Amino acid sequence: MIDKLPLELVQEVAFQVSSILVLKRVLEHLHKSPTSLHDHARWLEGRVSGLDSNKVAENRLAVSPERAHPPIRYTIWIDNETCRLFPPEPTDTEEVKEALDQLPDILPRALCALKGLASVQLSADTGQLDNESHRSGDAVLGSLASLPRLARFEVDADQQSPLPPLPFHKLGNGTLRRLSLSGCFSDSPPLSALSALLQCNSDIIELKLDNRHFRGSPHHFHQMFEQVAAGTLHLQSLYLRGWVIKPTPKMIPHTRSLHTLCLLDNNVQYQGELWKLLQSSGTSLRRLTVNYIKSDFLAYLESFTGLEELSIPYPDRKEEDTTEVPRRFYTETLQCHSESLRRLEVLPRCEGSWTIGLNDVNVFDCCTKLITLTVGLKSDDVQPQYSDIDVVVSV
């Protein structure tokens, strides 16, 4: 029967077995290759005989990747607020506790050995961080800085807790091309550390700073560039949520190569200045997402051609002019990108001037390259009597 079980499950069972003879017998059922059996037996003998954790770690790393994966676990919801993993993690054993104690010492050396590693994503449950976790994070980033091919680094924290105070300045290896930080930035975000990271990684072309559920004092995006030399970066893709964005002379030189821009839930105090500077600098975006629409934004869109993707979620959230801005957008602004626009989303919260009815659908006739269209429809035009009418038939 045991040879019919998944290898990962058998390994999980083997962890709970104390007898080396039983462990070897299990492996004999699984492995026909003498070399494979020898490697596993060597590791198991070391584990039972009490070798130091570094030696055990080295032997475990020698196991082929297809045999090292843990069993697939599933999340089971007990009620609306409680969830558990099945099968449960074997974290209560002495072996696991000992391994966790040694992790800050073993992990950096293990990471340094991954010379071909190009992408790293850290998922941080910041609600459970302690001093030991901070020490581990410091060691991890110090190790990642030694990797010669590391091009993408992402940190994804849970939505309700502050982003972990990682020492980003340690990533000064100069190989990064994509940086993504998602979470709730604290009242004192590590702007100086991020600034040092940007200064040392001039090849970064994609930057994402997703400040979810931001609270406390506003965070100023432009301050990160105060110590970064002009011309250091040539950002091509920029995603910002929950920031104050003031287009200062030290920030603008790093954004002149932008072709993709996403601005969501940001402080809108300086957005008018941003569109004017992008217009005066001749920046022609190809992909754009924004949820605050005013006439200066439309003026920027009308200053160039070639936009391929445009997404406007909730354009009516802070609308001041209830008719002129939507009318101008649909009848004039779209004309400027009629031969390039392939994807368009306009998603108003409520029915109003931004929604489309049967009498308005012809505004998309000019968009000859349009592939995907998502708009809000007027409720009177989607009643049952119109169910057989394709409101976008002319696109």
Cα 69 to Cα 90: distance, rounded to the nearest angstrom = 14
pLDDT at 56: 46
pLDDT tens digits, one per residue of 153-205: 998 887 666 677 778 888 888 999 999 998 877 655 567 888 889 999 999 99
Pick from 18-32, 128-142, 180-194, 246-260: least confident: 18-32
CA atoms within 13 A on the CB side of 4: 1
Q: So what's the pLDDT on residue 141? A: 83
**pLDDT at residue 67 in the model:** 47
Q: Which helix (H) or strand (E) holds 247?
A: none
Average pLDDT over residues 31-50: 53
- Give the range among 63-72, 146-155, 241-250, 334-343 with minimum mean pLDDT: 63-72
Residue 32's pLDDT band, with cuts at 50, 70 and 90, is very low
Of the pLDDT bands very low, low, confident and very high (cuts 50, 70, 90), residue 340 is very high
Closest CA to 281 of 307, 311, 251, 324: 251
Q: What pLDDT score does 216 carry?
A: 60
Single-letter amino acid, residue 82: T
Q: Specify the amino acid at residue 263.
A: L
Question: What's the whole-number average pLDDT of the chain?
Answer: 77
Q: Against a cut of 0.85, is the pTM above it?
A: no
- Say how far apart CA 243 and CA 258 lie, in whole Å: 18
The Cβ-side half-sphere exposure at 380, using a 13 Å CA radius, reads: 8
With 60 as the cut, is the pLDDT of residue 150 above it?
A: yes
Output 178 or 42, whichever has higher pLDDT: 178
Task: Please compute the mean of the pLDDT values over residues 341-350 and round it to a whole number.
Answer: 93
Looking at residue 300, its pLDDT comes to: 97
The DSSP bridge partners found for residue 211 are: 183
Q: How far apart, in whole angstroms, are the C-alpha atoms of residue 324 and residue 353?
A: 9
Confidence tier at 393 by pLDDT (50, 70, 90):
very low
Average pLDDT rounded to a whole number, residues 145-156 = 91
**Beta-strand runs (E) in the chain:** 74-77, 83-86, 119-124, 152-157, 178-183, 206-211, 237-241, 260-264, 287-290, 309-313, 343-347, 372-375
CA pair distance 49, 51, nearest whole angstrom: 6
Q: Please give the class, per CATH, of domain 15-26+92-125+136-256.
A: alpha beta
**Six token digits for residue 361:** 């659908």
Asked if residues 215 and 191 have their Cβ atoms less than 8 Å apart, the reply is no
Give me the phi and psi of 71, to 5 degrees please. -65, 150
* Closest CA relative to residue 208, chosen from 166, 169, 236: 236
Q: How far apart are CA 19 and CA 188, in angstroms?
A: 52
283-305: average pLDDT: 95
The encoded tokens of residue 36 equal: 């494979």
Residue 191 has a pLDDT of 78
Highest mean pLDDT among 88-92, 123-127, 354-358: 354-358
Mean per-residue pLDDT, 283-312:
95
